[in-house]
Amino acid sequence: MKRKPIYVELNINTDMEKLWSYTQSAEKHEQWDLRFSSITYLPRQSEDSPQAFLYETRIGFGLRISGTGRTKSSIHRETGVRLSTLAFGSKQPISLIRHGAGYWQYRPNKDSITFLTKYDYATRFGRVGKWFDRLLFRPIFGWATALSFDILRLWLEKQIPPCVSVQRIAVHYISIMILGFLWLYEGLVPKWIYPEAGELAIMQNMNMFPGAELLALKWLGGAEILLGLLLLLYHRSKWLYGMQLAALIALTASAMVVEPTLLAAPFNPFVLGAAMLGLSMIGMWTCRELPNAGNCIRKKGELKP
């Protein structure tokens, strides 16, 4: 089973010395790189010897993966290209990664620096470990690398600290997942599976579709399901949030006009609509300057628009 090395490339509008400082300092590196919880540089034996370090990654449930590494840097005087090579590994039996190696390259452009990495590693647990790595771990690890690069870009270009970017990611995706679930649930359960539980009566009282209320209700449910799916797929598109806000206001207002008594119910359309409006506004606000792994080139030679 042939492994594909992980490759990530991104142009960052900054100067070489600043990018070098933010990536070669352990204190700064551990802030933006999602693959590590902590990085500790060890004392060097001499200026020419590789920089040894310890790393640690929290994987949840109180478990941590720790390992060691060595890095060495070089500068091509004629082109200004800098290279930082890396060798790493872990002796922990629970670590999927046994050992690996790679590099960071810094290529100066006119107004930016092309920052790229390529690395690979060997796994534990035999054939099972190889399949797990290929199907799940390696795609996630590559995505985390690309997302980390974009977090670094925002730190350097927009002065947005990594902790703020990570918080924004968490808030955005939690709100989107909840909002998407609510759209899918409201479209499927009360309108398609159990329309007689109350939604059909509201539609009948509107007197807008005489004799075709059930069909109209299912069309409305289908539209809500579609909106939920669009939200999950295109949650970075601001126009979608405008569509959601208009739909939520229209649905909530029509239900309140037709059945004002619903305001007395413990879980009424007004409460649900207000909660969904709030989640929609949070999603719209947090998609601004949201780190995106898709901003990175993931294959050598690939072009980004």
**Dist. CA 41–CA 277, nearest whole Å:** 47
Enter the pTM of the model: 0.88
CATH 3.30.530.20 matches 6-160 = yes
Q: Map residue 135 onto helix, strand or coil.
A: helix
Residue 122 token pair: 């060997």
Q: How many alpha carbons fall within 13 Å on the CB side of residue 52?
A: 8
Confidence of residue 117 (pLDDT cuts 50, 70, 90): very high
pLDDT tens digit sequence for 137-182:
999 999 999 999 999 999 999 999 999 999 999 999 999 999 999 9
pLDDT, tens digit (0-9, with 9 covering 90-100), for 225-261: 999 999 999 999 989 999 999 989 888 888 778 777 7
Which pLDDT score, from 0 to 100, does residue 131 have? 94
Residue-range domain boundaries for the chain: 6-160, 168-286
CB burial string 141-170: b at 16+ within 10 A, e below = bbbbbbbbbbbbbbbbeeebebeebbebbe
For helices 199-206 and 213-233, the axis angle rounded to 10 degrees is 120
pLDDT digits (tens, 9 = 90+) for 50-100: 899 999 998 777 788 999 999 999 999 888 999 999 999 999 999 999 999
pLDDT at residue 303, as a whole number: 65
Sheet holding 6-12, edge to edge: 6-12, 113-123, 97-108, 82-89, 63-75, 51-60, 38-41
